[in-house]
Amino acid sequence: MAFLYPFCLGKNHITSIYQQVENVCPYLLHFHILYGYLRDPLDKHKLIVDEDVRNVIRDVFTMYLENASMSEIARTLDRRGVLPPSQLKRSRKGQELNPNAVWGSQAVRSILTQELLTGHMVQGKTISYSHKLKKRIPLPREKWSIVRNTHKAIIDEETFNHVQSLLQKETRPKADVKTKTAPSLIAGFVVCADCGKQMLRTKTTKNGKAHYYFRCRTNKQLGSNACASHLIPEDIILDVLLASINSLVDALVDVEAALHRNASDEVRVMKKRLCLQLEKAVSERERIANTKAKVYHMYINKLDETLTKDAYDNLRENIEKMNAENEQKIGMLKKELDRVENVDEYKSEWMQDFGRYRGITELTREIIADLVERIVIGKDKTIHIEFKFRDELKQYLHS
Ligand SMILES: [Zn+2]
């Protein structure tokens, strides 16, 4: 229908064109412009380099490669009087600036990890578990859709990749300054079942080996009258967490497989029914043709004297009508069968993607942050993992 639009450019049609374009290249229209690029004023679907910040971005990469930490880079930018991205946006819109705004490590990190800077458009880094579970999970890189060379690069690919590999080596957040220990994977997730406060991580050293525990904050601050210690080794929480995540993933994959099996059964039944109907319609076609021939034979040979010309014409017309209806039915059934056969090929993409999370042997902060809401520790050291999407999950399991 697209060819019709130039001839009838009503307001609604223009909207339709817009929607069509949007369907073809949504990232171009809805793209959230990131630091380093601007929309081309001549073609708003294109990105152009923001020359005002090109050198800032290059400096950030250079400083990082020269071993500066994120916060050092942030401080350097502040010292040089470079406006943080949010403030730059405000100043360009003529809005009042926040005099206290400074560069943060997160802003630096997001520049260092922004693949867009290499000139490629990256889409689909996450996927939703299914349409029923709204939460999105990160996808492995090979599943991303990357449209190469959509715009001018600010950072060459080699430099970018090198920085990514350096960043990966420090995926664990910086060590806790006070205790000089690596922070816990589950920091911020562990909660006391009785007072509801976040639990604190404590370290003890036995025979030169460090052991980590979680302890109720209220207990530590106000004593055991206020709340019990709930003391529990970190290792145990991590073991339970890993096992729970694995069984959750297994359960979800099984549910999806079962749903898919049901769907296949339905498809099989439908297909069988359609085949029978088609068979019937095809034999009906034969029967109609035979009747037509028989009636013609009777009329031509004057075998029945009541079969006058008018009666014959009438009869023939009815037979033609019946035939046309039957042919239409055959066409529809064939189309329907075609469609059902394609449905049979359908394999749940979601299941395949989610299946990748099956059998993980190591937890990462990313996986935990993605799946876990809270880890609740009881007085009797029970560990209760609350997953982020338990309501949706319940709904899903009972649908
Ligand atoms: Zn407590």
Domain boundary among 137, 169, 201: 169
Give the chain's domain count. 2
The pLDDT, as a whole number, for residue 373 is: 82
Would you say residue 6 has pLDDT above 70? Answer: no
Q: Which residue, of 154, 169, 184, is where some domain finishes? A: 169
- What is the per-residue pLDDT for 38? 85
Measured in angstroms, how far is the CA atom of residue 239 from the centroid of ligand 1? 22
Does 349 share its domain with 259? yes
Give domain status of residue 50, yes or no.
yes
The DSSP annotation for 65-119 comes to HTT--HHHHHHHHHHTTPPPHHHHHHHHTTPPP-TT----HHHHHHHHT-GGGGT
How many Cα neighbours within 13 Å face the side chain of 201? 20
Using the mean position of ligand 1's atoms as its centre, give its distance from the Cα of residue 198 in Å: 8
pLDDT of residue 229: 93
DSSP state of 30: S
What is the pLDDT, as a whole number, of residue 390? 53
Domain contains 396: no
pLDDT band at 169 (very low <50, low <70, confident <90, very high): low
What pLDDT score does 145 carry?
Answer: 60
Classify residue 364: in a domain, yes or no. Answer: no
Q: Quick: pLDDT tens for 81-137.
A: 999 888 888 888 888 888 888 888 888 888 998 888 998 776 555 444 444 444 455
Q: Which of 8-12, 44-48, 314-318, 395-399 is the least confident region?
A: 8-12
What CATH number does residue 129 fall under?
3.90.1750.20
Q: What is the Å distance from ligand 1's center to 208 Cα?
A: 30
What is the predicted pLDDT for the residue at 245? 83
Residue-wise pLDDT tens digits, 134-148:
445 555 555 556 667
What distance in angstroms lies between residue 214's CA and the mean position of ligand 1's atoms?
11
Distance between Cα 392 and ligand 1 center (Å): 29
Does residue 302 belong to any structural domain of this protein? yes
pTM over 0.75: no
Q: What angle do CA 26, 29, 32 make, to 5 degrees?
A: 100
Average pLDDT over residues 209-235: 92
Pick from 397, 396, 386, 395: nearest CA to 245: 386
For residue 277, give every residue at least 6 positions away whose Cβ sits within 8 Å of its Cβ, in sequence order, or none.
Answer: 333
Q: In which band, very low, low, confident or very high, does the pLDDT at 237 lie, cut at 50, 70 and 90?
A: very high
Ion ligand 1: residue ranges with CB closer than 5 A: 192, 194-195, 216, 218, 227
Q: What is the pLDDT of residue 170?
A: 59
Q: Find the 199 Cα to ligand 1 centroid distance in Å.
A: 8
Separation of 174 CA from ligand 1 center, angstroms? Answer: 27
Reference 60, options 89, 36, 39; nearest CA is: 36
**Ligand 1 center to 357 CA (angstroms):** 33
> Cα(207) to centroid of ligand 1, in Å?
29
Tell me the DSSP string of 211-265. EEEEEEHHHHHH-TTTS----EEHHHHHHHHHHHHHHHHHHHHHHHHHHHHHHHH
Residue 58 has pLDDT above 60, yes or no: yes
Residue range 109-118, pLDDT digits in tens: 889 988 889 9
Higher per-residue pLDDT: 100 or 200: 200
Question: Does 164 score more than 90 pLDDT?
Answer: no
Does the pLDDT value for residue 200 go beyond 80? yes
What's the CA-to-centroid distance between 176 and ligand 1, angstroms?
23
Pick the more confident residue, 268 or 310: 310
196 φ/ψ angles, rounded to the nearest 5 degrees: 80, 0
Separation of CA 377 and ligand 1 centre (Å): 9
Whether the per-residue pLDDT at 234 is higher than 90: the answer is yes
Whether residue 260 sits in one domain with residue 165: no
**Nearest 5 degrees, angle CA 345-CA 350-CA 355?**
105
Confidence of residue 328 (pLDDT cuts 50, 70, 90): very high
Report the range of poorest mean pLDDT among 6-20, 25-39, 369-383: 6-20
pLDDT of residue 115: 83
> Token digits for 131?
């349409």
User: Which of 120, 135, 169 is the last residue in one of the domains?
Assistant: 169
The alpha carbon of 225 and the centre of ligand 1 are apart by a number of angstroms equal to 10
Looking at the domain assignment, is residue 112 inside a domain?
A: yes
Domain extent for 342: 250-354
pLDDT level of residue 181 (50, 70, 90 thresholds)? low
With the C-alpha atoms ordered 253, 255, 258, 264, is the resulting torsion angle positive or negative?
negative
Please give the residue that has the higher pLDDT: either 208 or 21: 208
Of 223-227, 265-269, 347-351, where does mean pLDDT reach its minimum?
Answer: 347-351
Same domain, 41 and 162: yes
Q: Check whether 289 has a pLDDT greater than 70.
A: yes
Question: Do the domain assignments include residue 275?
Answer: yes
Ligand 1 centroid, distance to 160 Cα (angstroms) = 46
261 and 164 in a common domain: no
Distance 218 CA to ligand 1 centre (A): 5
Q: How confident is the model at residue 228 (pLDDT cuts 50, 70, 90)?
A: very high
Q: The tokens of 180 are what?
A: 């000089």
Q: Is residue 197, in this structure, part of any structural domain at all?
A: no
Q: Could you tell me if 44 and 165 lie in one domain?
A: yes
Q: Are residues 164 and 290 in the same domain?
A: no
* Domain assignment present for 371: no
**pLDDT mean over 330-344:** 79
Out of 184-193, 249-258, 340-349, 365-374, which region has the weakest mean confidence (pLDDT)? Answer: 340-349
Please provide the DSSP assignment of 351-368 as one string. HHHHHTTTT--S--HHHH
Q: How far is the CA of 5 from the centre of ligand 1 (A)?
A: 67
Mean pLDDT of the 189-214 span: 90
pLDDT tier at 195, thresholds 50, 70, 90: very high
pLDDT tier at 222, thresholds 50, 70, 90? very high
Range among 7-21, 115-129, 148-162, 381-395 with highest mean pLDDT value: 148-162
